[in-house]
Amino acid sequence: MAMQCCTALESHKAKPPSVAAVSKLTNTPLKTLLANLISINNGFGLANASLSFLGDHLFAICEGDLPYAVRLTSNGDTDTKTLGRHDFDVNGEKQIDVHIAMAGRHPLFMHDFAITKKHTVSVDTQLHMYYTEMILRGDSLLHSDPTKASRIGVIPRCAKDSLQMRWFDVPGFNNIHAINEWDEEDGNVIILAPNILSIEQAFGKTELVPCLMEKVRIDLRTGIVSRHPISARNLDMGNTRSGGVAANTEADEDNGYVVSYVHDEKTGESKFLVTDAKSPHLDIEAAVKLTQRVPTGSHGLFVREVELRKLYNCKYPIT
């Protein structure tokens, strides 16, 4: 049995702005902050970018601010309760920070990165952020540099300094999200990601942006990068994340199912799909028609039942 609930997360409310202040602003975080619409001490993130299950707790997260802890309540229908903004123990043990210096006048736009068992993989795309131009002239924050060649950076997860970062040229490769990534037995690093073919249109009507799903293989011994097209469908922006379910606890990594929600804009019909992870085209094993639409989004999270049950009893503050 499946149950869907839709509820708002209670992040810190913004200070009510004056009409004059609102009329002079565009909807940008920096201008909102300068207009004193929010208190940075209480947090400014809406926590609406994604969800993460960590240490038996569920967090609603956003870029640039602390996450909010969330737990489930059960009052006839399953619902969520916002526990509060959460900061992790700054005195706890952690791996040393490795700062990667990036050349260029404008900071690059790096929205997502990939993590394998041994490596962290980042993509230096053609997109850059132009803060000064946005503030002074009202220009768009993001611009592309057609003269720049994109790069993929690979660094060991246990790296001690930035000298262990290796860069590989991948001209024309511009991804916003990574779909999957792994290490091969021969030492190659694989990243599966949608490549935005028209980077200038990346933040227009995202469902119309041409994308090519690519499988990128990086040979760390020879430095050779090979790219293989997987699908020409737009499988990035505007889609919920998929989840994997193993056939059993001892099954191989790809011996199981890929599950996801899909919505047909023409018919208005939503379905929950179960597909065969081993099949080359993700053959559909089961399709469950939904009575209502599941809202689409760039990020999402599938949580196992055993993890879900822990969320009913989690405490706050988190210790």
Q: How many helices (H) and strands (E) does the chain have?
A: 4, 18
Q: Residue 185 has what DSSP assignment?
A: T
Tokens describing residue 229:
């097209």
Was 177 annotated as part of a binding site? yes
Tokens describing residue 261:
């929600």
151/35 Cα distance (integer angstroms): 37
Was 111 annotated as part of a binding site? yes
- The predicted structure's pLDDT at residue 217: 96
- The predicted structure's pLDDT at residue 116: 93
Q: Taking the mean position of all CA atoms in its chain, how far away is CA 46?
A: 15
3-state secondary structure at position 222:
coil
Q: Residue 177's closest CA among 253, 119, 234, 103?
A: 234
Peptide bond just before 317 cis, omega within 30 deg: yes
**Those residues with Cβ within 8 angstroms of residue 183's Cβ, 6 or more apart along the chain or in another chain:** 116, 117, 118, 119, 189, 190
Tokens describing residue 224:
């050779």
- The predicted structure's pLDDT at residue 264: 78
- Please give the chain's pLDDT, 319 residues, in tens: 455 555 666 766 544 444 344 334 344 455 554 555 555 666 667 777 778 888 788 888 877 778 888 877 765 455 677 888 887 766 667 677 788 877 778 888 887 889 999 999 999 999 888 888 888 888 888 888 888 999 999 999 989 888 999 999 999 999 888 888 899 988 899 998 888 887 666 565 555 667 788 999 999 999 999 999 888 766 665 444 556 566 665 656 667 887 777 777 788 888 888 888 788 777 889 999 988 777 665 566 777 777 777 777 666 666 6
114 and 192 Cβ atoms separated by less than 8 Å: no
294 and 269 Cβ atoms separated by less than 8 Å: no
The answer to whether the pTM exceeds 0.75 is no
- The predicted structure's pLDDT at residue 83: 81
- The predicted structure's pLDDT at residue 226: 95
234/244 Cα distance (integer angstroms): 20
- The predicted structure's pLDDT at residue 74: 65
178/155 Cα distance (integer angstroms): 16
- The predicted structure's pLDDT at residue 76: 45
254/180 Cα distance (integer angstroms): 12
- The predicted structure's pLDDT at residue 319: 61
- The predicted structure's pLDDT at residue 282: 76
